[in-house]
Amino acid sequence: MTLEAIFWGAVLLVVYAYAGYPCLLAALAQVSTLRVQKRRITPRATLIITAHNEERRLKEKIDNSLAQDYPPHLLDIIVASDCSTDRTDDIARSYGDRVRLVRALERRGKEAAQQLAIAGAPGDILIFSDVATALDAGAVSSIVSNFADPSVGCVSSVDRFVDEDGRVSGEGAYVRYEMWVRALETRVNSLVGLSGSFFAARREICRQWAVDRQSDFTTLLNAVERGWRGVLDPETAGYYRNIADTRRESQRKIRTVVRGIAVLARNARMLNPVRYGLFAWQLASHKLCRWLVPFAMAAAAAANAALAPQSAFYGAALAAQIAFYGAAVVGATTGARALRIPAYLVTSNGAILVAWVRFAFGDRMTSWTPSDRLAALPRTARVKTLG
């Protein structure tokens, strides 16, 4: 394989992962669009809040959950404590019969705690939410209404950032991009991933719950395996603040990708287009190709460096790459707004590369520490809290 083939192959992979795939989705959406038949329904639902040492934020989260406009006698709230050692369990118990506490006797991870809650959950629709995520008063009603469509097996919320005053702020470019891609996937066929901070699924999908695998990704794959699809509900949002420490955000990204790779490896059969059709292409494009980008970036840089002395074109291309990575370094160290995109692309792909290394050495990162977001839940004009 020549250096030019390596260079252009790597460049094409990067372009396809970030631009080619969504453009093809947009083209398919013009030919055929699947609509979600939403309508008000009120099946028995269970809201599962997973927590580990969340004494600072749990009360606000429970109050926010109790303020939902869903019929109270049809909504059960369960706090799944992953062997918390602070006042988390006491706070949950203080709500009496309005909130049920399920406690893991040993710390085994988020999914293991969720499994305990699922075992005791009476709802036909199971809703999962993180402690750090605030919901509109109508969020549960909105997300449940998607299940009026018999083709829908699971539903993802959209992610919304809020500032320190609790006001909805401008989302980062990547979040807007990701929500756009998910909206296109919903129109064409199915989502490939759910928002782990707030999603819902039919109970049948959660019967075979894997305690060692990422629950949001696995739930989506289970739904597709059983003939349903996952959808994005643009009218249902989970509100949260950015992680205060950028190093912790990088660790969160590494953990997410390590666990995602593990799920994909266990479900590699779903990359077979003969059996899974359009979804196999989506899975390969959205997940696998995206996770291969750091290798493509490294290959493009190395091949370009070797080709630069041979022609002015490759010399200019190398200069452009150097400028891009230089801008990323400046953006990451100074926080300059104009350089956020190159900074994000480089740091996020660096985290993906680290995730591959950790996965290769057998690390599956099943234990978890909740994201270090600000202690108070985000508040918005539409989010009600009690007392």
Distances (CA, A) of 40 to 57, 120, 138, 144, 157: 31, 26, 11, 8, 17
| Of the candidate ranges 82-96, 231-245, 259-273, 359-373, the one whose mean pLDDT is the lowest | 359-373
The whole-number pLDDT of residue 173 equals 79
Where do we find the tokens 């939403």?
38
Cα–Cα distance, 79 to 99 (Å, whole number)? 7
The DSSP symbol for 165 reads: T
Q: Write the CA distances from 75 to 79, 148, 172, 268, 335, integer angstroms.
A: 13, 17, 33, 36, 43
> Could you give the 3-state DSSP secondary structure of residue 37?
coil
How far apart are the C-alpha atoms of 342 and 1, rounded to whole Å?
A: 29
Tell me which residue has tokens 């926010």. Answer: 64
Question: CB neighbours (10 Å) of residue 226?
Answer: 12
Q: Which of 185-189, 205-209, 320-324, 382-386 has the lowest mean pLDDT?
A: 382-386
Partnered with residue 155 across adjacent β-strands are 200, 231
Question: Tens of pLDDT along 289-343?
Answer: 999 999 999 999 999 999 999 999 999 999 999 999 999 999 999 989 899 899 9
CA 151 to chain CA centroid, Å, is 22
| H helical segments located in the chain | 3-15, 21-31, 58-66, 88-93, 110-119, 139-145, 173-188, 215-225, 246-266, 273-276, 278-283, 290-307, 312-334, 340-360
Cβ(219)–Cβ(154) below 8 Å: yes
pLDDT of residue 165: 61
Give the whole-angstrom CA distance, residue 380 versus residue 376.
12
Tell me: the pLDDT tens digits for 132-172? 999 999 999 999 999 999 999 999 999 988 766 655 554 57
pLDDT for residue 3 is more than 50? yes
**Residue 142 phi, psi (nearest 5):** -70, -45
CA distance 83 to 294: 37
Q: What is the pTM of this model?
A: 0.92
Per-residue pLDDT for 380 more than 60?
no
Q: Which amino acid is at 260?
A: G
Q: What is the pLDDT of residue 202?
A: 98
Q: List alpha helices for 193-241, DSSP H.
A: 215-225
Burial (CB count within 10 angstroms: exposed 0-12, middle 13-18, buried 19+), residue 19: exposed
Please tell me the distance from the alpha carbon of residue 230 to that of residue 84, in angstroms, as a whole number.
32
Burial 180-204 (b: 16+ CB within 10 A, else e): ebbbbbbbbbbbbbbbbbbbbbbbe
Count of CB atoms situated within 10 Å of the CB of 161: 15
